[in-house]
Amino acid sequence: MHPPSRQDYISISVSGQGGGRYNNSKQWRRQSCWRKWKQLSRLQRSLILVLLFICGVVSYPLVTEHLRGLSDGVQDPNSVLRPVSPHVLPEPIQPGQPPLPEQTSQRKLSNKRGPPVFGNRHQKKGNTSDTVVENKAVDSKKEGEEEGVISWRGAVIDTGQATDGTRDGENKENSPATQKGTLSSSIKSEASMLEAVQEAFLHSWKGYKDFAWGHDELRPLSKSYSEWFGLGLTLIDALDTMWIMGLKTEFEEAKAWVATELTFNKNVDVNLFESTIRILGGLLSTYHLTGDTLFLDKAKDIGSRLMPAFNTPSKIPYSDVNIGKGIAHPPRWTSDSTVAEVTSIQLEFRELSRLTQEPQYQAAVAEVMKQVHKLDGKLDGLVPMFINTNSGQFTHQGIYTLGARADSYYEYLLKQWIQGGKTEDQLLEDYVQAIEGVKKNLLQKSSPNGLTFVGEISHGQFSPKMDHLVCFLPGTLALGAHNGLPADHMDLAKELMETCYQMYIQMETGLSPEIVHFNMHQGSIRDLDVKLADRHNLLRPETVESLFYLFRFTRDHKYREWGWEILQNFNKYTKVSSGGYTSINNVRDPDYPSPRDKMESFFLGETLKYLYLLFSDDPDLISLDQYVFNTEAHPLPIWPSAA
Ligand code: DMJ
């Protein structure tokens, strides 16, 4: 038995090997107080109540004085409160520089931390490797086409002009846009919000380091780990997050592991998509941020080992590759691949070609895009979920979703276009057409409150089902508007952002389930329902990802407030006292959300990174005019020709 914990989150502790149980200290305390209260006589209870009332009256002026001091402690010279010290950023760490002796992962967070100065390698002019893809992209521009103006079905899109009226970084704290919302009194300063995310990261890292070091994922309850590919997935996914958060000691420890322990010469099957977005993407991004060629060398190694996946009759890649043997294959039960998987590896392979000047990586993924562009079976630009690696045709047609198996196809259309300097018109046309397809076929309003949501089409029937995964869409739409796409993309982004937030706050834990079903009939009591099987939360990033984009482009502080609430709820319901955070089974039961004993690598790679960037006031901390995030939140440079 464990004694009740004093922590203010539900403490999940383990009694004995493998057996976890909730130790809900708050509830325990409540029950015990209530029991004692019931044992008192009526006279005793009355006396206590009178005393409490008198104390309240006497202390009222002191309390209000105290609260006033809290709100204007900086101005009031008599206030006993000290002003909140601004977040002082640390000196950047140089590649190879040893960590300072006082920096341990257990240390208290000091104010002397923050983002390092980035390598900015993409900004180097005259680097021949920068020109490989750039020239090709320029060639693709049609003759006579005006710079930055694309026409799609009669609509002229000025791609040089942000339709949200901003350039990333232009919105300053005192701009009119910032006055749209103010942080409520429950919300902290920028410094303390950043610190709260760092604490969440360090708590996760502690669990990973103590129980899963060098393995794929932490199992925080059983204080062990699980393997997927056996390649240190969490560690690699988290590298650039640590760099961005300025966690030097942790970054150096992880880098040492990459240098000495990480090998891809292993007889293991890996999923092409997952290893591309997490491992190749993570290594490329860390190379760009640090300038350390260790990460580029590792990226080349994994990139070349993944290439056998493209050796298929159709050139549409297989889902799995054995990176040791160089043999690829589809899943055992089918020769299909998932559409999102084969169309969401392009940012990474294109960047690998640009850096190495070896065109085969870019050629392989461009071929996939070319084929998918031409395929029949789309519904107004929306794609089915499966594609056959022999025939190169869509299969299992009839289901159209922005959720699982299709989601990042749409994301990568826009992002490849941005990465390449907004010159590859076909990508833009496919993206804009798909968004029109979403509006025409998938967009509906819920009842009673009229939330805009993205449903699915299943064999001609509309289904009001929306995956949490779809919550990447507000961010992507906002990014498009920022890059000159129609202003109504931004309007839609804001509406969907509200819906995604509602998917959190309407749940008893304040955390979103994996899937919701919206009500559309008149007289509905609530806007959304959750089926029993869909009540889990895997610590996914999509909503906080979109909050980050929306805040960057609007500076509306409500998005930060929403992100702050979500972080608090992760802390309350998914934090494990011995280290790490866990996926949960039931977002509707705050007393027992039923932990799953797994911390996904994207919690460190994406969720906490986006929260950190959301709370940072610095628009140059990964500027959206210089970087494009891959679908695992690893920033890759926008190619220099576009800058
Ligand atoms: C991540 O691996 C990526 O964000 C991917 O695009 C979708 N699934 C997870 C996060 O939910």
Q: What is the pLDDT of residues 560-602, one digit of tens each?
A: 999 999 999 999 999 999 999 999 999 999 999 999 999 999 9
Is 252 assigned a catalytic role?
Answer: no
C-beta separation of 123 from 643 below 8 A: yes
Q: Is residue 475 part of a domain?
A: yes
What is the SS3 assignment for 627?
A: strand
59 Cβ contact partners less than 8 Å away, ≥ 6 residues apart: none
Is 407 assigned a catalytic role?
Answer: yes
pLDDT band at 603 (very low <50, low <70, confident <90, very high): very high
Give, for 271, the enclosing helix (H) or strand (E).
strand 269-271
Rounded CA gap, 558 and 183, in Å?
7
- Cβ 468 under 6 angstroms from ligand 1: no
- Cβ 632 under 6 angstroms from ligand 1: yes
Distance from the alpha carbon of residue 631 to the mean position of ligand 1, in angstroms: 6
C-beta separation of 512 from 472 below 8 A: no
Among 280, 540, 544, which residue has the most ligand 1 atoms within 8 Å of its CB, making it the best to mutate?
540
What is the SS3 assignment for 414?
A: helix
Query: What phi and psi values does residue 281 have, to the nearest 5 degrees?
Result: -60, -45
Domain of 213? 176-642
Q: Is residue 69 part of a domain?
A: no
pLDDT at residue 22 in the model: 29
Is 514 assigned a catalytic role?
Answer: yes
| 431 residue type, one letter | Y
C-beta separation of 359 from 350 below 8 A: no
- Number of neighbours of residue 393 by Cβ within 10 angstroms: 16
- Number of neighbours of residue 253 by Cβ within 10 angstroms: 17
The catalytic residue among 240, 320, 411, 514 is 514
Query: What phi and psi values does residue 470 have, to the nearest 5 degrees?
Result: -65, -15
Strand boundaries in 383-474, DSSP class E: 386-388, 394-395, 399-400, 443-445, 452-454, 456-458, 461-463, 465-467
pLDDT, mean over the chain: 81
Among 405, 407, 606, which residue has the most ligand 1 atoms within 8 Å of its CB, making it the best to mutate?
606
C-beta separation of 467 from 403 below 8 A: yes
Q: Is residue 116 part of a domain?
A: no
The answer on pLDDT for 133 being more than 70 is no
Among 402, 632, 634, which residue has the most ligand 1 atoms within 8 Å of its CB, making it the best to mutate?
632
DSSP 460-504: TEEE-EEEGGGGGHHHHHHHHHHTT--HHHHHHHHHHHHHHHHHH
What is the SS3 assignment for 515?
A: strand
The answer on pLDDT for 355 being more than 50 is yes
Rounded CA gap, 36 and 34, in Å?
5
Residue 32 vs residue 471, higher pLDDT = 471
Between β-strands 269-271 and 461-463, what pairing exists: parallel, antiparallel or unpaired?
Answer: unpaired
The answer on pLDDT for 519 being more than 60 is yes
pLDDT at residue 201 in the model: 99
Q: Is residue 17 part of a domain?
A: no
Rounded CA gap, 158 and 591, in Å?
52
The mean pLDDT value for 178-205 works out to 79
The mean pLDDT value for 409-431 works out to 98
pLDDT at residue 163 in the model: 66
Rounded CA gap, 48 and 41, in Å?
11
How many angstroms separate the most distant Cα atoms in the chain? 93
Question: How many domains would you assign to the chain?
Answer: 1
The mean pLDDT value for 23-48 works out to 53
For tokens 């309007």, name the residue. Answer: 491
- Number of neighbours of residue 582 by Cβ within 10 angstroms: 28
DSSP 95-159: TTPPPPTT--TTSPPPSS--PPPP--GGG-TT-GGGGHHHHHHHHTSPTTPPTTEEEETTEEEET
The mean pLDDT value for 541-561 works out to 98
Share of the chain above pLDDT 70, in %: 71
- Cβ 630 under 6 angstroms from ligand 1: no
For tokens 């920028």, name the residue. Answer: 190
- Cβ 631 under 6 angstroms from ligand 1: yes
Q: What is the pLDDT of residues 61-70, one digit of tens each?
A: 333 333 332 2
Rounded CA gap, 638 and 628, in Å?
6
For tokens 């993205």, name the residue. Answer: 454
Share of the chain above pLDDT 90, in %: 70
Ligand 1 atom index nearest CA of 601? 2
- For position 372, which CATH number holds? 1.50.10.10
Is 542 assigned a catalytic role?
Answer: yes
Which stretch of 43-57, 343-357, 489-503 has the lowest confidence by average pLDDT? 43-57
Q: What is the pLDDT of residues 6-20, one digit of tens each?
A: 233 333 433 332 222
The answer on pLDDT for 45 being more than 70 is no
Length of the chain as a residue count: 643
pLDDT at residue 46 in the model: 67
Q: What is the pLDDT of residues 553-569, one digit of tens each?
A: 999 999 999 999 999 99
Q: What is the pLDDT of residues 90-124, one digit of tens each?
A: 222 232 333 222 233 333 333 323 333 333 333 33
The mean pLDDT value for 313-338 works out to 97
Q: pTM for the whole thing?
A: 0.77
Ligand 1 atom index nearest CA of 542? 11
Rounded CA gap, 387 and 403, in Å?
16
Distance from the alpha carbon of residue 532 to the mean position of ligand 1, in angstroms: 22
pLDDT at residue 49 in the model: 72
The mean pLDDT value for 79-96 works out to 26
Of 159-173, 183-197, 411-425, which one has max mean pLDDT?
Answer: 411-425
Ligand 1 atom index nearest CA of 411? 6
The mean pLDDT value for 329-354 works out to 97
Distance from the alpha carbon of residue 578 to the mean position of ligand 1, in angstroms: 26
pLDDT at residue 641 in the model: 75
C-beta separation of 553 from 534 below 8 A: no
The catalytic residue among 542, 556, 606, 625 is 542
The answer on pLDDT for 172 being more than 50 is no
Rounded CA gap, 419 and 619, in Å?
19
The catalytic residue among 195, 274, 341, 606 is 274
pLDDT at residue 37 in the model: 57
Distance from the alpha carbon of residue 363 to the mean position of ligand 1, in angstroms: 25
Q: Which of 231, 214, 210 is nearest to 321 (CA)?
A: 231
Distance from the alpha carbon of residue 359 to the mean position of ligand 1, in angstroms: 27
C-beta separation of 391 from 371 below 8 A: no
Give, for 198, the enclosing helix (H) or strand (E).
helix 190-211
Q: Is residue 3 part of a domain?
A: no
Residue whose CA lies nearest to ligand 1 atom number 3: 632
Q: What is the DSSP letter of 37?
A: H
357 Cβ contact partners less than 8 Å away, ≥ 6 residues apart: 128, 129, 132
Between β-strands 20-23 and 635-637, what pairing exists: parallel, antiparallel or unpaired?
Answer: unpaired
Q: Which of 577, 628, 619, 583 is nearest to 5 (CA)?
A: 577
Residue whose CA lies nearest to ligand 1 atom number 11: 540
The mean pLDDT value for 40-56 works out to 65
Q: Is residue 393 part of a domain?
A: yes
Ligand 1 atom index nearest CA of 606? 4
The answer on pLDDT for 55 being more than 80 is no
- Cβ 543 under 6 angstroms from ligand 1: no
For tokens 């009031």, name the residue. Answer: 76
Q: Is residue 183 part of a domain?
A: yes
What is the SS3 assignment for 224?
A: strand
Q: Is residue 84 part of a domain?
A: no
